[in-house]
């Protein structure tokens, strides 16, 4: 596992383009910074790639950037200045360094409730899928604030949902809910396809807890249903080493290997929103079980 020197961030995402790694992360109060590297170990802070949103007032979280048809689309979370509720936005740029400009002067996807942690999956059939989280801040089920993961097919220009959102993951396992009776999370989806199987990683427990961890589920369809791996979590704290690993994303390295980026707490003894970006290799055993090499 590579523990980078990038701290004060969260939710790292890595894009590989023309021999360079670009890392985007929850990083600033008024937008997003980005970092570059050619070896995954040495990173340079390049400053802002998105700033001065017309609709986002704060809580700029979890940016992810995807190359499509010569353009670069950033999908991210921010708090809407209209009603102070979390929403998902999409911005576009001609280069991975930005500057990213809004597709619309407001959140692109207003589901009528707080939504965060969006990611995209482009399938071999040419269809695009949006995965996102209905956030626990405004989703209370039987008295419990609950974050759940949804998926929808989305138009190729990322302006329209082509199907109604389908709920595909909710906190229902003991390791996901044991530390907090009133707040439960399934969040931070990350999707990849291997053979005919879709793997969706997700994070559970509070981001500021040592027990923030990653599990995964599998499906034969990008729309689910997804079945959770029986031996979750596959990424959790390392005793006296690292705390609260979570919100991972996948990318193929310049060496052809599969990697995941995720964050851990910068201070092992004082978990908080101050987090460090880490990178680890991802492999599969003979049964197709996903392993993260930490």
Separation CA 72–CA 248 (nearest Å): 20
pLDDT score, position 52: 86
pLDDT score, position 181: 86
pLDDT score, position 201: 98
CA-nearest of 67, 57, 54, 68 to 101 is 54
Give the end-to-end CA distance of the chain in Å, rounded to a whole number: 5
pLDDT score, position 124: 84
E strands, 135-245, where? 140-141, 144-154, 166-169, 183-185, 187-194, 197-204, 213-219, 227-228
Separation CA 40–CA 36 (nearest Å): 9
The pTM of the full predicted model, rounded to 2 decimals, is 0.97
Separation CA 176–CA 179 (nearest Å): 8
Q: Let me know: does 149 contact 189? Beta carbons within 8 Å.
A: yes
pLDDT score, position 23: 98
CA-nearest of 118, 275, 254, 112 to 206 is 275
Q: What is the dihedral of CA 273, 277, 281, 284, to 10 degrees?
A: 20
Q: Spell out the domains of the chain, with CATH numbers in brackets.
A: 2-293 (2.115.10.20)
pLDDT score, position 105: 85
How many CA within 13 A on the CB side of residue 87? 21
Q: Let me know: does 122 contact 64? Beta carbons within 8 Å.
A: no
pLDDT score, position 75: 97
Q: Let me know: does 243 contact 265? Beta carbons within 8 Å.
A: yes
Q: Which residues of the chain have pLDDT under 70?
A: none
């Amino acid at each position: 596992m590579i523990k980078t020197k990038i701290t004060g961030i969260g939710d790292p995402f890595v894009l590989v383009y023309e021999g360079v790694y670009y890392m985007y992360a929850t990083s600033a109060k008024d937008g997003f910074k980005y970092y570059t590297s050619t070896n995954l170990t040495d990173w340079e802070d390049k400053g802002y790639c998105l700033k001065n949103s017309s609709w986002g007032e704060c809580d700029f979280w979890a940016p992810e950037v995807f190359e499509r048809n010569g353009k670069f689309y950033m999908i991210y979370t921010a708090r809407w200045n209209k009603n102070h509720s979390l929403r998902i936005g999409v911005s576009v740029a001609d280069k991975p360094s930005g500057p990213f400009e809004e597709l619309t002067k407001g959140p692109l996807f207003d589901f009528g409730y707080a939504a965060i942690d969006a990611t995209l999956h482009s399938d071999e059939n040419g269809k695009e899928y949006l995965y996102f989280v209905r956030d626990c801040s405004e989703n209370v089920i039987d008295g419990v604030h609950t974050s759940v993961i949804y998926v929808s097919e989305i138009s190729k220009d990322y302006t329209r949902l082509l199907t109604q959102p389908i709920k595909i993951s909710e906190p229902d396992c003991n390791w996901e809910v044991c530390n907090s009776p009133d707040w439960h999370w399934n969040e931070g989806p990350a999707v990849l396809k291997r053979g005919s199987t879709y793997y969706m990683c997700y994070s559970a427990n509070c981001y500021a807890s040592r027990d923030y961890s990653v599990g995964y589920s599998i499906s034969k369809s990008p729309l689910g249903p997804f079945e959770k791996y029986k031996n979750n979590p596959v990424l959790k704290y390392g005793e006296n080493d690292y705390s609260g690993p979570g919100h991972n994303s996948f990318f193929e390295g310049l060496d052809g290997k599969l990697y995941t980026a995720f964050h851990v707490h910068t201070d092992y003894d004082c978990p908080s929103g101050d987090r460090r970006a880490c990178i680890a290799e991802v492999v599969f055993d003979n049964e197709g079980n996903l392993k993260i090499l930490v």
